[in-house]
Amino acid sequence: MSLKSIIYKKQHLTILNQLLLPFEKEFIDLENTEDAWDAIHKMQVRGAPAISIVGCLSLAVELRTKTFGSCEEQADYVCERLRYLVTARPTAVNMTDAAHVLSEMTRGLVTTSESVSTMRDKVITEIEKMWDEDINANHELSRHGADMLLEKSNGEPVTLLTHCNTGSLATAGYGTALGVVRALHERQKLEHVYFTETRPYNQGSRLTAFELIHDDIPATLVCDSMASALMQHKNLSAVIVGVDRIVTNGDVANKIGTYQLAIAAKYHNIPFYVAATEYSFDVSHRTGASIKIEEREPTEMTSVRGVRVAAPGVNCWNPAFDVTPAELITAVITEFGIFTPSQVEERLIEVQKLKHHHL
């Protein structure tokens, strides 16, 4: 069974502190949205879908401890807390998207709910449903991805390269790109997975390595700078990565280093896939150029676990994400199936309609 990093029982939310992995396994309690904001901001929990799920679940926990004089007051509070959670990290769209869906739904409940407590229960139920649906979506997209890769390999085992961490630690559970890796392994059709260290924050060597070892998946770590050589020397079937935001023209924001992998894959004629659920789609940007890219502390580059590795006084530029142009992406793997970046716009409209089944 894949690693469980989010534990939620009525009135209680606990997460695995990813800052301490892989050396210590510490669980921390999140009692309210402020605790969740801090945990997201400090990256005790990270990965676009996990950020959103933990943010929303923290609101569910907090709502049980609050009293409101009216449904309207409760709705104002819910919407304000959701806006606040969105500010914890800027690049991934999942939290923004979930906040939008939940806010609209909550506003709609003001006139239709019998009491403040029935309204609260409906909001909480919706959040819990989102979590379940997200886990199911991970399984669905992983199944589609595995089917597609095996069709292309004529059923022969495949060898993949992945980047960052897109597994149970980064999602509601199971994973997106790493979910596809898991699904292939479960079918005994994964020859091998290579994964990058993912400098500067080492999500690969710390977190993906931890998950792959936990699940006993045949895997090998490479430094980011080795990716092109890997493509030249090892027989890779495909590169597969996760997503922080997919916009209308099919451009994708994801962990820094994704763009260079896509360029190298194109040169080596290796298919480059992105794997994501509906919550990564964002119609509000026409192209990736307008996505806000989070820039992080220079210490992530100059030190490793508190030990300085760069010369004192050096200048640093530390963008946490980059944008991969649609033309470098072979296909997008989702819970609804697989499509090309040029089909994203048309599929976005469908996805938006599907999202509104929540309302």
Ligand X SMILES: CSC[C@@H](O)[C@@H](O)C(=O)COP(=O)(O)O
- Nearer of residues 66 and 296 to ligand X, judged by Cβ: 296
Q: Within 249-278, which residues bind ligand X (CB under 6 A)?
A: 254-255
Query: At residue 27, what are phi and psi to the nearest 5 degrees?
Result: -100, 140
- Between the CA of residue 277 and those of 94, 252, 333, 351, what are the distances in Å? 9, 13, 8, 10
Q: Are 211 and 2 spatial neighbours (Cβ–Cβ below 8 Å)?
A: yes
- Nearer of residues 173 and 242 to ligand X, judged by Cβ: 242
What string marks each residue from 35 to 54 as x (binds ligand X by CB under 6 A) or -? -----------xxxx-----
Q: Is 171 in the site for ligand X (CB under 6 A)?
A: yes
Query: At residue 193, what are phi and psi to the nearest 5 degrees?
Result: -120, 130
Q: Is 169 in the site for ligand X (CB under 6 A)?
A: no
Residue choice 96, 176, 208, 334 for contact with ligand X (CB under 6 A)? 176
What string marks each residue from 129 to 168 as x (binds ligand X by CB under 6 A) or -? -----------------------------------x-x--
User: At 187, is the secondary structure helix, strand, or coil?
Assistant: coil
Question: What percentage of the chain's residues is helix, strand, coil (to nearest 5)?
Answer: 50, 20, 35
Query: At residue 142, what are phi and psi to the nearest 5 degrees?
Result: -65, -40
Question: Rounded to whole angstroms, how far apart are CA atoms 194 and 228?
Answer: 12
What string marks each residue from 308 to 347 as x (binds ligand X by CB under 6 A) or -? ------------x---------------------------
User: Which range touches ligand X (CB under 6 A), out of 68-76, 240-248, 281-289, 332-340?
Assistant: 240-248
Q: Is 96 in the site for ligand X (CB under 6 A)?
A: no
Residue entry with tokens 């100059």:
302
- Nearer of residues 91 and 159 to ligand X, judged by Cβ: 91
Nearest approach, Cβ of residue 174 and ligand X (Å): 10
Choose the catalytic residue: 35, 215, 244, 282.
Answer: 244
- Respond yes or no: is residue 244 known to be catalytic: yes
Structure tokens at 34: 């402020």
Please enumerate in sequence order all residues whose Cβ is within 8 A of that of 210, keeping only pairs 6 or more positions apart, or say none: 3, 21, 22, 169
Which secondary-structure segment (H or E) carries 338? strand 337-339
What sign for the dihedral angle of Cα 58, 61, 64, 67? negative
- Nearer of residues 46 and 285 to ligand X, judged by Cβ: 46
Enumerate binding residues for ligand X (CB under 6 A).
Answer: 46-49, 92, 164, 166, 170-171, 176, 203, 242-244, 254-255, 320
Positions marked catalytic: 244
